Amino acid sequence: MAKKRILTLHWKLFFPLIGVLWLIIGITIYYFVSHEKHRQRVNLENRLLNVNNTVIAAYEQGADLQKTVDFIRLFTDNTTLAPLRITVYDYKGKMVADNPAATIAVYDDEGKLNPDFYNLLYTDRASYLHDDIIDAKKSMISAKKSTDGKISSFAALPYEGEVTDFLSIDPMIWLVVIFLGIVSSALAYLGVRAVCRNVYALRDFAKAISSDDIPDDIESWQFTKDELGDVSRNLLTLYRNKIKAEQEKIYHERQIGINISHELNTPVGIIKGYLDTAIDSDDIPEDMRLKFLRRAQDNTNRLSNLIKAITTVMRLNEGNMIADSTVINIHKVISQLADDIKLSHIADNMVFQYNVPDECLIKGNESLLTTALLNLVQNAAIHSKGTLMSLNVENVENGFYVCTFSDNGIGVENEHIDRLFDLFYRVDPGRSRKSGGAGIGLPLVKKIIKSMGGDISVENRAEGGLRFRFTIPQA
């Protein structure tokens, strides 16, 4: 059914187009033929008028009119005017000069004067030009009266022989019309076919979608090499990329689900193991039971923190926490962070330094920003194996504060740099589960910075360690 509709569309495009082309050709040829016929007729009319003008001029100069007529007939022999008939009458209707082989009679068979000739001979009318029947032949007739009104010259040209050929259109013009029509029809067919090829390809593409059989090679769809084909190819490319992105998203979400399940099961399994042992073993020493409960508590805290981090990442993905932006004094936030690091020993034995202007106001979420900075500190403390970490506000660019966080540790291999912000990604063995990493800290940092309108990147320092460069909008 779809194919039938497309084929109908093909012809619906072709027939109106070819109709318009033939109409244009027809109108053009009609105009040309009409114009050419009119031009040829005017040419003959002017030549007849010139004949009468010559006769009248000869009369007014006192020349012999019969010799003048004979001369004109001699001059027009073997030309288009070969069948020319010339007769001269005086004002009484008496013939003055004539070519005897073809006299223009002013009287009919009943001896009555032809009305047109009468109007010329006996009225003030000086000349006329029209078609009339003479000797049963349709002729172009021109007549002119002398200035004194005593002489009237009649010239007639029958529509026969070379005159008919002269006024007719060259048959070659019809061959040209047929040729132009055929060429136009062929070009119209090819043009419509080129357009419909893209329609056919889109139809096949729709079938491929319904059967979930889309090839990777877009060129296999045989689109035309023109703008319409380019648009069709771009549409297919966009659709294929969209499908690919959705498939990758589904795969990524599935992997996230698997990783979340795995990450949650690990502390849950540990907690269950310690609690089962503490509860089911009646003869276990009290200090050992207390030790197991504390281990279970530690893993419970770890599980709680893990759930909070995952929840934060998911909420940031949905954009639910971006609206909580306020004006923050980043110097105050980092100063408090330095005190917390010193009191809680979350940086282990690493020294934390910072260089931030006193009145450094940013726009963001203070709680999320603190979480992001703590994650950077913990990431460096756990994985860098360095002795120093520093947080600095470098400068202001296009309304954003440019900040850096760096350590003097071992850094990571360059192949892992681009993946450090991927959820649940770990660099083995330095960032394994043994050292407490779950692959959530750095992705959470990136989500927080992005949610506040900034951006973040990471690189290995030439002198060792990592450098995180991030921007935060200036208040």
| Domains, in order of start, for the chain | 2-167 (3.30.450.20), 214-320 (1.10.287.130), 323-473 (3.30.565.10)
* Residue-level pLDDT at 128: 66
Q: Is the pTM of this model over 0.85?
A: no
Mean pLDDT of 211-231: 61
- Residue of 405, 427, 431 lying closest to 416 (CA atoms): 427
* Residue-level pLDDT at 245: 75
Angle between helices 172-210 and 2-60 (to 10 degrees): 160
pLDDT band for position 74 (cuts 50, 70, 90): confident
pLDDT band for position 310 (cuts 50, 70, 90): low
* pLDDT at position 434 over 70: no
By CB neighbour count within 10 A (0-12 exposed, 13-18 middle, 19+ buried), where does 65 fall?
buried
Of the listed ranges 1-10, 148-157, 343-352, 398-407, the one predicted with least confidence: 1-10
CA distances from 189 to 12, 25, 47, 232 (A): 11, 17, 49, 21
* pLDDT at position 267 over 50: yes
What does the block give as tokens for 410?
A: 């071992």
* Residue-level pLDDT at 184: 81
What does the block give as tokens for 232?
A: 């069709």
Phi, psi of 89 (to 5 degrees): -120, 150
Taking phi over 0 as left and psi of -120 to 50 as alpha, with beta for the rest, 103 belongs to beta
**Please, where are the H alpha helices in 115-171?**
115-121, 162-167
* Residue-level pLDDT at 211: 65
Q: What are the E-state strand segments in 398-474?
A: 400-407, 456-460, 466-473
Mean pLDDT of 293-307: 73
Q: Pairing state of beta strands 388-397 and 351-355?
A: parallel
By CB neighbour count within 10 A (0-12 exposed, 13-18 middle, 19+ buried), where does 6 fall?
middle
* pLDDT at position 123 over 70: no
What's the pLDDT tens digit per position in 250-260? 766 666 666 56
Q: What distance in Å separates the CA atoms of residue 239 and residue 246, rounded to the nearest whole number?
A: 10
* pLDDT at position 124 over 70: no
Helix (H) or strand (E) holding 18: helix 2-60
Question: Over the chain, what is the mean pLDDT?
Answer: 76
> Residues near 385 by Cβ (< 8 Å), separated by ≥ 6?
409, 410, 430
Pair 471, 372: CB distance under 8 Å = no
Which residues partner with 407 through β-bridges?
Answer: 389
State the amino acid at position 458 in one-letter form.
V
What does the block give as tokens for 408?
A: 């003097």
Q: Give me the percent of the chain exceeding a pLDDT of 70.
A: 69
* pLDDT at position 3 over 50: no
* Residue-level pLDDT at 4: 47
* Residue-level pLDDT at 91: 78
